Amino acid sequence: MKPTALVAGNWKMNGLASSQAELEALAAMLKEGGKAACDVLICPPFTLVSAFATAGYTGIAIGAQDCHTAASGAHTGDISVEMLRDAGASYVIVGHSERRADHAETDALVAQKAAAVLGAGLKAIVCVGETEAERDAGRTLEVVLSQIGQSLPDAATAENTIVAYEPVWAIGTGRTPTVEDVAEVHTAIRKSLVERFGDAGEGFAILYGGSVKPSNAAELMAAANVNGALVGGASLKAADFNGIIDAYR
């Protein structure tokens, strides 16, 4: 089974519910996104999930950027997958490098979060990636494949789980690996998925993220075993995000 391409926008901690500009930006993305030969997803901050999901547009999915492992309980400041589903989310990003770094999230915790996402019937985008120091030490594949092995729950399937490779040193820096470097890592991830899940591993979508922009999207999306993009800053501007989606027109 060939993976369905996905272009996902991670808005991170940006966007205000009180700003009509946010909904107008979404509308501009939807206008073009609905024509794309790929799935399109926006993951805004929690405060905008419901507004975006109920905006009445078609051709785009709405997701969230994180979740707690529990369905409810005494977890002040956290949010459950059930709450996100209730708000209209259909995807949840887990294990983003900023969560791993800022909140000391481990592979084990990421796997638990992913399992919670799948258990609630949503799709998980599981992020992996190496730091600059790990890359300079020649440990890229070691680190990434270890994260893959320990961050994906046993319930993961090609239908409910997407893998996103984001070299930490390339996120928001303007630096990107070469196309050959990206293909090498994605091909190694594909091999590890097939080793664990059998032929079904061929169906997992593997996204690339890290300074993706309209000027390099087509080249990156054409690399071996790249099935779409997880876009950060460029997803905040309709022209840039649509320019990346153009790689699939």
The CATH number given to whatever domain includes residue 244 is 3.20.20.70
- Interior/surface letters 132-154, b for 16+ CB within 10 angstroms, e for the rest: eebbeeeebeebbbebbeebbbe
Q: Note the pLDDT tens digit of each residue in 194-204.
A: 999 999 999 99
Q: Note the pLDDT tens digit of each residue in 17-29.
A: 888 887 777 777 7
In whole angstroms, give the CA distance from residue 222 to residue 225. Answer: 8
Residue 20 lies in a domain: no
Per-residue pLDDT of the chain (249 residues; tens, 9 = 90+): 789 999 999 999 998 888 888 777 777 776 655 567 899 999 999 999 999 999 877 788 999 999 999 999 999 999 999 999 999 999 999 999 999 999 999 999 999 999 999 999 999 999 999 999 999 999 999 999 999 999 999 999 999 999 999 999 888 788 888 999 999 999 999 999 999 999 999 999 999 999 899 999 999 999 999 999 999 999 998 889 989 999 997
Strand pairing report for 61-64 and 161-165:
unpaired
Residue 27 lies in a domain: no
pLDDT for the residue numbered 176: 80
In whole angstroms, give the CA distance from residue 36 to residue 24. Answer: 19
End-to-end CA distance of the chain: 21
Residue 99 lies in a domain: yes
pLDDT for the residue numbered 66: 98
Other beta carbons less than 10 A from residue 179's beta carbon:
17
Residue 159 lies in a domain: yes
Domain count along the chain? 1
Residues identified as active-site: 96, 166
Query: Burial of 67 by CB count in 10 Å (0-12 exposed, 13-18 middle, 19+ buried)?
Result: buried
Helix (H, G, I), strand (E, B) or coil at 7: strand
Looking up tokens 């993961």 gives 156
Q: Which residues lie below 8 Å from residue 69, measured CB to CB, with a gap of 6+?
A: 109, 112, 113, 115, 116
Q: Which residues lie below 8 Å from residue 99, measured CB to CB, with a gap of 6+?
A: 66, 105
Element (H, E) at 26: helix 20-33
pLDDT for the residue numbered 32: 56
> What tokens appear for 107 in the block?
């592979």
Residue 59 lies in a domain: no
Say if CB 197 and CB 155 are below 8 A apart: no
Residue 41 lies in a domain: no
Residue 44 lies in a domain: no
Expressed as residue numbers, the domain containing 88 is 6-14+68-248
Residue 29 lies in a domain: no
